[in-house]
Structure 1
Amino acid sequence: MKLAFLYAGQGSQHPGMGADLYQAYPEFRAVLDGARLDFDIKTVSFTDPDGVLNQTEYTQPCMVAFAAGMTAILAGKGIRPNYAAGLSLGEYSALAAAGVFTATQAVELAAFRGRAMAQAAAGVPCGMTAVLGLDRDKLQAACQAASSEGVVEIANYNCPGQLVIGGHKAAVDAAAARAKELGAKRCLPLKVSGPFHTSLLAPAGDALRQRFASEHFGPMQFPVLFNCLGREMGEGDTIPALLERQVQSSVYMEDTIRRMEDLGVDTIVEIGPGKVLSGFVKKTAPAIKTIPVETCADIDALCAALKGE
């Protein structure tokens, strides 16, 4: 068996995530209790009484803490991957799993990243739209046709027939209209707070570059596939540069999944919350088995599946 961990990104969060894990597993408690943040990560993740969990600066550290805690639980059961990747924010969780960051460091970096992204998007009339049923080349042409209205770029290559565009709202709307003319089945505006993974987030990339200058990056214990490459890093690539680039350029999730298949991965554990990435895998490489894990019951099911029970 070749096993990969695939970490969920922003959008899958919900109140209550991790509450059962916190009660059941000391490894999970250690990660959340060790978070050094200016808010109570357990309160926001478990009950979200002030309704802030969906705000980027809160979402990101909560998601990474959940992922790091789940990774610690699985490691305690002897479950370690051959490869890892994550959707957007999930890349930080993948790097923590590979030993590049400590859990505490990854959570703190996610909090910084969330603030930097929110600040970069502040005041920008922006939008993001999912485009279904259109190939890459035609959508790129639609974006080019709408470029006179402002910045509009393909932000996410999720899986065959599911792409996301982002940028200035007028340009995104114009590109979506052109995409429909070119044969897109549906164009669905997304409820997001910024033009994520587009060049409009360059200020966030600048902020990350400055932050990374004082961060320690540990040796990678197994390969991580990077969003902006759709594969492992190559000669001349550095992790800080790839993370700086990631926040302001396209996420190649479909390419990442295809690369995992080429590497011989036959089982992917999606570390949630949610099952969005399992859906991407099924549409991209259906021969790969996917096992989402979010709850205590999911962990039990995973252990049984890996033992062949």
Structure 2
Amino acid sequence: MKAYIFPGQGAQFTGIGLDLYEKFPEAQKLFERANEILEFSITDIMFEGSAEDLKQTKVTQPAIFLHSAIMSQMLGDNFKPDMVAGHSLGEISALVANKTLEFEPALKLVYKRALAMQHACELQPSTMAAVLGMEDHLVEAICAEVDGTVVAANYNCPGQLVISGDLAAVEKACELLKERGAKRAMLLPVGGAFHSPLMEPARKELAEAIEATTFNNPICPIYQNVSTFGVTDPSEIKKNLVFQLTAPVKWTQSVQNMIADGATEFIEVGPGKVLQGLVRKIDRSAQTSSAEI
């Protein structure tokens, strides 16, 4: 069974999407429509902008979404997913791929999400940190000891967990984690505490937009970050997508459940190969590849 997976923030690169724009007239139309919806030329930034330009959350999230969602549409008859999943932002790309969401409303949700997250980041100094070489339950226990807000945010693969919270609490947690045996505990260059309770203002903003958006019956299950199991009910998909902003990305658990449900091949759609690497660390026997157009 084929599982298609979609990357999240951090996978962007200068020139992202240009190959699709130049190769497919239909892709060109979708990119131009995106410029109209967003009311600025995101294609100029994607194709010609610097790495610094692409780092802005309001640019990064729609840029990665556009690359992934448009690529999945350009795969044509070759695109026959048995299941899909996306890492954080990538979950919305996956929902376009399995026909739960139409392209235009999905892009509007992505942009709303980006702006809401940016706004939440500005309310309080906050950050994230990568923790390597320590079991998940130990990281969770150490975070629970720290005053302030610091929680597990991304369960990426065994031995790689990202924590998130207010700046002082994350810094203190990093100190304790290194003292108690973590190979590394390092702050990440991100704008705020994604997938933590500090994203509550963004969750509220996004919830209204999601409720107002039509979600269709999908053509295959999506393994969502919050639930980790295959979901096909549109109302449940909506609920999980709302809570995703304040809940951890359970990528390890999602991949394990996809494999348990019969996934034999994981195909990454969008920029980069980060998710393929994580899948192989979760299960060395898993077959992975990038989508080819």
TM-score (ref. length: structure 2): 0.95
Gaps of 5+ in 1: 300-309
Q: Greater shift after overlay, 28-37 or 228-237?
A: 228-237
Contact 2:216-2:234 within 8 A present in 1 as well: no
Tell me, what secondary structure is at the counterpart of 1:52?
helix
Match of 1:126 in 2: 126
Tell me, what secondary structure is at the counterpart of 2:215?
coil
Match of 2:28 in 1: 29
The share of aligned pairs that are identical, in percent, is: 36
Contact 2:150-2:166 within 8 A present in 1 as well: yes
Instruction: Provide, for residues 84-138 of structure 1, a one-character-per-residue CA deviation record: whole Å limited to 9, x for no partner.
Output: 0000000000011111111122111101100000001104111210000111110
1:186 aligns with 2:184: yes
Q: 1:235-246 counterparts in 2 under 5 A?
A: 238-246=236-244
Alpha-carbon distance, 1:235 to partner: 7.8
Amino acid across the alignment from 1:83? M
Match of 1:136 in 2: 136
Q: Distance in 2 between matches of 1:235 and 1:178?
A: 42
Amino acid across the alignment from 2:272? G
Alpha-carbon distance, 1:78 to partner: 2.7
Match of 2:54 in 1: 53
Match of 1:212 in 2: 210
Match of 1:305 in 2: none
Alpha-carbon distance, 1:236 to partner: 10
Contact 2:14-2:50 within 8 A present in 1 as well: no
Contact 1:223-1:232 within 8 A present in 2 as well: yes
1:14 aligns with 2:48: no
Instruction: Provide, for residues 276-302 of structure 1, a one-character-per-residue CA deviation record: whole Å limited to 9, x for no partner.
Output: 101101100121111124xxxx43xxx
Q: 1:93-112 counterparts in 2 under 5 A?
A: 93-112=93-112
Instruction: Provide, for residues 48-70 of structure 1, a one-character-per-residue CA deviation record: whole Å limited to 9, x for no partner.
Output: 16943211111111111111110
Q: Distance in 2 between matches of 1:260 and 1:43?
A: 37
Alpha-carbon distance, 1:193 to partner: 0.2
Q: Distance in 1 between matches of 2:51 and 2:260?
A: 45
Alpha-carbon distance, 1:20 to partner: 1.3
Alpha-carbon distance, 1:206 to partner: 0.3
Tell me, what secondary structure is at the counterpart of 2:186?
strand
Tell me, what secondary structure is at the counterpart of 1:157?
strand
Match of 2:44 in 1: 43
Q: Distance in 2 between matches of 1:234 and 1:106?
A: 17
Q: Greater shift after overlay, 275-284 or 47-56?
A: 47-56
TM-score (ref. length: structure 1): 0.90
Tell me, what secondary structure is at the counterpart of 2:131?
strand
Match of 1:307 in 2: none
Match of 2:258 in 1: 260
CA RMSD of aligned residues (A): 1.6
Match of 1:158 in 2: 156
Match of 1:78 in 2: 78
Seen in structure 2, the aligned counterparts of structure 1 residues 244 and 52 have a Cα distance that, compared at 3 Å, is same
Q: Following TM superposition, where does structure 1 have runs of at least 4 consecutive aligned residues deviating by more than 4 angstroms?
A: 234-237
Q: Distance in 2 between matches of 1:214 and 1:234?
A: 19
Q: Distance in 2 between matches of 1:221 and 1:69?
A: 17
Contact 1:62-1:107 within 8 A present in 2 as well: no
Match of 2:115 in 1: 115
Q: Greater shift after overlay, 153-162 or 38-47?
A: 38-47
Amino acid across the alignment from 1:58? V
Alpha-carbon distance, 1:18 to partner: 1.3
Tell me, what secondary structure is at the counterpart of 2:161?
strand
Q: Distance in 2 between matches of 1:78 and 1:125?
A: 45
Q: Distance in 2 between matches of 1:152 and 1:176?
A: 10
Amino acid across the alignment from 1:113? R
Q: Distance in 1 between matches of 2:278 and 2:104?
A: 29
Of residues 288, 291, 304, the one that matches 2:289 is 291
Tell me, what secondary structure is at the counterpart of 1:238?
helix
